[in-house]
């Protein structure tokens, strides 16, 4: 089965976010499988896959640079509902923000970052994207699907064990989806990944593709950079609007599973800026690594 997307969470009032193979010239243990050719990105007016000008929350309008556009890739806003856990301390409520419902193949926290990153890729004139992750990376799956929606090729550098790096990775879990959308899959051993690093591996592949006449755009591990972080600054605005529209009490704490750090960076930045702007109590942000 496809592994579930990472959720998000908050406490006391707590909300939770449920958020054929050919060798290449990359280092020793990387292999790739070919993908489909692509044409120019689609142009749509409104709704899913539409490109739209970005207007930041008023409390974040002083940040720079502000992204000029986003692509509408997620089914947003995602709902917030009470999570009836047993044995909670008196006076404690746990609510969950269902970012696992942000869209089928793109579900989870990845899609919010990709709305900004894919818009930048298309605006830069890229014809393909490169990203890096584990062998069953949800981020890599979401990137490959988003790229196919936008008529871009995708190149995925996937980390796996040394004994498996020379074998076909098969059609298990996220790999099935990635191959269905025509992603190029490159394998690298965990040892080589640790030695070389994700940034250098992506740059090596980028240089190779540029020599072939391609125009690649690199998306970092987890989509976690300053641009991707805007996805979860936006999530804070979304939560704020949901609280105002529903009459829910404000949350005291936010708990989020943490991997590459972009989600918690955006949430932390958002709540801190709002607090500095005098918009009420700042929730405490807590991360749980390795979930």
Nearest to 183 by CA among 144, 129, 133, 209: 144
What are the φ and ψ backbone dihedral angles of 272, each rounded to 5 degrees? -70, -40
CA-to-CA distance for 285 and 31, rounded, in angstroms? 40
Nearest to 101 by CA among 11, 175, 7, 10: 7
CA-to-CA distance for 240 and 146, rounded, in angstroms? 27
Distance in Å from the first CA to the final CA of the chain: 18
Secondary structure class of 135 (helix, strand, coil): coil
Answer yes or no: are the C-beta atoms of 162 and 190 closer than 8 Å. yes
Continuous segment of H or E residues that includes residue 205: helix 198-211
Strands 153-160 and 184-189: parallel
Choice among 137, 154, 198, 268 that is catalytic: 137
Establish whether 137 is a catalytic residue.
yes
CA-to-CA distance for 112 and 117, rounded, in angstroms? 9
Using alpha carbons only, what angle is made at residue 1 by residues 85 and 197, rounded to the nearest 5 degrees? Answer: 95
CA-to-CA distance for 119 and 139, rounded, in angstroms? 16
Would you name the residues annotated as active-site residues? 137
């Amino acid at each position: 089965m496809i592994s579930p997307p990472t959720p998000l969470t908050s406490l006391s009032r707590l909300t939770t976010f449920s958020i054929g193979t050919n060798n290449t010239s990359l280092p020793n243990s990387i292999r790739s499988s070919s993908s489909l050719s692509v044409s120019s990105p689609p142009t749509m007016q409104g709704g899913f896959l539409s490109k739209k000008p970005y207007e930041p929350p008023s409390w974040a309008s002083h940040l720079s640079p502000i992204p000029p556009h986003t692509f509408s890739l997620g089914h947003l806003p995602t709902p917030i509902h009470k999570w009836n856990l047993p044995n909670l301390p008196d006076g404690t409520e746990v609510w969950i923000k269902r970012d696992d419902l942000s869209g089928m193949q793109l579900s989870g926290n990845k899609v919010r970052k990709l709305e900004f990153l894919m818009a930048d890729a298309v605006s830069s004139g890229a014809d393909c994207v490169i990203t890096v992750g584990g062998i069953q990376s949800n981020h890599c799956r979401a990137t490959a699907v988003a790229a196919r929606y936008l008529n871009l090729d995708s190149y995925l550098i996937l980390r796996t064990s040394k004994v498996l790096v020379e074998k076909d990775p098969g059609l298990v879990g996220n790999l099935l989806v990635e191959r269905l959308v025509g992603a190029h899959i490159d394998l690298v051993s965990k040892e080589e990944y640790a030695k070389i690093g994700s940034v250098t591996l992506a740059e090596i592949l980028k240089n190779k593709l540029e020599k072939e006449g391609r125009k690649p755009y690199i998306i970092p591990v987890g989509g976690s950079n300053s641009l991707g972080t805007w996805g979860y600054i936006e999530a804070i605005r979304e939560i704020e609007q949901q609280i105002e529209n529903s009459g829910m009490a404000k949350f005291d704490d936010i708990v989020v599973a943490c991997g590459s750090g972009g989600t918690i960076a955006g949430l932390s930045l958002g709540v801190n800026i709002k607090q500095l702007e005098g918009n009420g109590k700042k929730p405490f942000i807590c991360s749980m690594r390795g979930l």
